[in-house]
Amino acid sequence: MQVEELRKTRRKRSVGSRNREKKEQPCCKLRNIRQTKRKRSVGSRNREKKEQPCCKLRNIRQTKRKRSVGSRNREKKEQPCCKLRNIRQTKRKRSVGSRNREKKEQPCCKLRNIRQTKRKRSVGSRNREKKEQPCCKLRNIRQTKRKRSVGSRNREKKEQPCCKLRNIRQTKRKRSVGSRNREKKEQPCCKLRS
């Protein structure tokens, strides 16, 4: 009788029966174990978390079903992003293209540590994306540098306004003095400092 009065509803040591009893009790008395952990498998543990409110489940993320990156981030899109601090919000795969396609769908205010629209490592594709985005978030590379040749680089500069291109002269096509100064006469001289 004393054992039955002390442990009122925990009948066996098996994990399933112990947690069935926990669902019958209020959760305010169950401090040191997670509330509805039936098995050690990740899927069953998180299915229980979706049924319970998330305010009592502190030490694990709420809807992490598997260890694969795609399924983990599909759950993140269903949840608000304010509770998911330590991983980026919509990183589905490790490939650069798929990661940045997700970034274009999300607002850029939460994506701090990578550039916004860098799809490939080639210079041409990276700068084609920059022309589609506003230039205020792309600080550390020049805006429209497509190739390493001097002529193609400066043809792009003439299409863009010169206020964002600080560190190179605007219309320097060749190293000869005559051609360089012919270009300066066509442009206003206020942005050609060096």
Residue 26, CA distances (Å) to 21, 31, 36, 52, 147 in order: 10, 11, 12, 12, 66
pLDDT at 107: 45
CB 119 within 8 A of CB 97: yes
Q: Quick count: other Cβ atoms within 10 Å of Cβ 111?
A: 19
Quote the pTM value: 0.09
Going by C-beta distance under 8 Å and a sequence separation of 6 or more, which residues neighbour residue 163? 191
pLDDT tens digit at each of 194 positions of the chain? 555 555 555 555 666 666 665 555 544 444 444 545 444 566 665 665 555 444 444 444 444 444 566 665 655 555 444 444 444 444 444 566 665 665 554 444 444 444 445 444 566 665 665 555 444 444 444 445 444 566 665 665 555 444 444 444 545 455 666 666 665 555 554 444 44
- Say what the pLDDT of residue 138 is: 43
CA-based torsion, 67, 72, 73, 76: positive or negative: negative
Q: 117 and 130 in contact (C-beta within 8 Å)?
A: yes
DSSP string, 146-157: -SSSHHHHHHHH
pLDDT attached to residue 185 = 59
